[in-house]
Amino acid sequence: MDTPELSVRELDVLFDQSPVPMVFVDRELRTRRINAAFRRLTGLSEEAVIGRRPTETEEADRLMDTELVERTLADQVIGQGVPVVGMRIERIVRGVRRIFSWTAYRVAEKGRVLGVVNAITDITGPAEARDRLDLLERAGSQIGCTLDIHRTADELAALAVPELADRVTVDLLDAVLQEEDPASADPGLLRLRRVAVRDAATEVTVDFAIDDLITVGATRQPAASFWRVEPLLARNRAEMSQADVPFSHLRPLLDRGVHTLVAVPLAARGVTLGAAVFSRAEDPRPYEQADVRLLCDLAARAAVHIDNARLYTRERRAAVTLQRSLLPRAVPQVAGLDIAWRYQPASQAAEIGGDWFDVIPLDDGQVDLVVGDVTGHGIRAAAIMGQLRTTTAALLRLGCPPDQVMPQLSAVVATHGEEAGATCLHAVYDPRSRRCRLISAGHLPPALRCPDGTTELIDLPAGLLLGAGESHYPAVDRDIPVGSVLAMYTDGLIEQPGHDITVGMSRLARALAEGPAQSLDDLCDSILATLAPRPRDDIALLLARTTT
């Protein structure tokens, strides 16, 4: 059965009744036909369009870049026969951003090009929805990359400019930055500090600089909104003036050309931390409620990360303070040894660990050098470390030899549960015999630089980790020539991601051999600078040079 061909009249009806706006242009790019959907979209009559090229229709230039359209039609669609499929075009139409999808394909009959059919669809709504979802997805990976308050605030500002704002400022309560409880801030007064500024016009600098203090009376309506965690929307300059924006001086904003803004409190876990102000100057669109919802979502995500950073910073500082208070403020002067030491907390996001050292003179003229490392991080590790150091000193001063101290320390660690553990290394030096007794509980071997400059890692029985159960800890006696340097350390000094720990120990031996020979303090600094300029974990380093 033959399929009947559509008549020209039927094709005309199909073209005209299509719900998709359509335009047919000839080989010279002059418009020959438009349909009703195109007239409704553009508001253009047939008289304004028929017979004209896109660049000859002034009103059409509002909707699309007509020069781009003509180049694409001539070179690509007609010239090469390559269609345009769903090209996205953004334009500002009567002050409102519009997004169009443009499709164009060549029409030919018996090898002769007749012209091009164009379909233009306004996808502003769906496209903006996709943009918002894309922005929220990017926010998940671009905001909160570190546990740093200032950097997190800047990541929020960077994400919003220029897609959502021409200018963003982020202000946090001074109490947050001073590591105080923000909930205890004076409700009658906002004391904020600027922590991030982003401006699409990078040469423009207005209002407060980074870390400037901003004080606002909470009797003003926006400040009350701040404490109630409500966003403030001003869609034009008049509303901005009436709102009496509290987070920056209004005059500089108006001078900057800002005509619309949204001020969003930053709140997490029921606590207000600060505020972010998003504003537009070059972008003519006023903010709408949909924008406010999106900005509130972004601000809420940033606030959680800022609060995490705040809590982390507070806990880390407490752990550092606790750990430093539990370490010796100074090491005693002992006969037969020069001693230098360093304790260096981690410089990155890792929490403080339980590294420690001590120098304990014994009644018989000997001295016990101790280095240890509690597994885990944070205040708990520091507290266990303090118990171990105190127990060690007490037992040694009561005359308990190190090989008997180790089981006692293991019992202390075991009381903290199966997940707790620690390593420890004792080096008991007798200046009269120049002998050193070394005992290890799972700790890294000490390094020795001999007077001739050669270095070695002293081989020791590793012993069982403290807290892992009852064990015997064998001792190794070693003669230490006068002028030798014994180096005891924790794993943060030599561990590197992706490298075997033996590589780090070899680097330590080399750094010990090549470091300054005269000053032990200089040698400490040289080893740290060479092996761990930005340590990922805590480091305890103890150097002892024999003098007699």
Q: Where are the domains of the chain?
A: 8-122, 127-317, 327-546
| pLDDT tens for each residue of 269-283 | 888 898 899 999 888
CA distances from 251 to 237, 246, 259, 414 (A): 11, 12, 12, 65
pLDDT computed for residue 349 by the predictor: 43
Quick one: tokens of 163?
A: 């897609």
pLDDT at 170: 92
Of 63, 163, 67, 68, nearest in space to 121 by CA: 63
Cβ neighbours of residue 17 closer than 8 Å, sequence gap 6 or more: 35, 36
Give the CATH fold of the 127-317 domain.
Beta-Lactamase (3.30.450)
Q: Give per-residue pLDDT as tens, 469-494.
A: 777 888 999 999 999 999 999 998 99
Domains 8-122 and 127-317 belong to one CATH topology? yes
Per-residue model confidence (pLDDT) at position 216: 63
Sheet holding 271-280, edge to edge: 213-217, 189-199, 167-173, 271-280, 260-268, 232-234
Going by C-alpha positions, the residue among 186, 270, 191, 168 that lies closest to residue 228 is: 270
CATH code assigned to 8-122: 3.30.450.20
pLDDT at position 339 = 94
**Percent share of the chain, pLDDT over 70:** 83
Locate the DSSP E strands across 260-351: 260-268, 271-280, 337-344
Cis peptide before 162 (omega within 30 of 0): yes
Q: Are 34 and 60 in contact (CB under 8 A)?
A: no
- CA nearest 427: which of 507, 344, 543, 332? 543
- Specify the 3-state DSSP secondary structure of 23: strand
Distance of CA 205 to the CA centre of its chain: 25
HEC-encoded secondary structure of 433-495: CCEEEEEEEECCCCEEECCCCCEEECCCCCCCCECCCCCCCCEEEEECCCCCEEEEECHHHCC
Question: What's the mean pLDDT in 17-27?
Answer: 90
Please answer whether residues 50 and 32 qualify as being in contact, where contact means their C-beta atoms are separated by less than 8 angstroms: yes
**Can you tell me the distance from the alpha carbon of 224 to that of 294, in angstroms, rounded to the nearest whole number?**
22
Least confident span in 159-173, 199-213, 256-270, 494-508: 199-213
Could you read off the pLDDT of 49-63 as tens digits, one per residue?
999 999 888 776 667
The pTM of the full predicted model, rounded to 2 decimals, is: 0.54
The domain 327-546: what is its CATH number? 3.60.40.10
- Cα–chain center distance at 342: 29
Say what the pLDDT of residue 226 is: 59
Structure tokens at 457: 């890692």
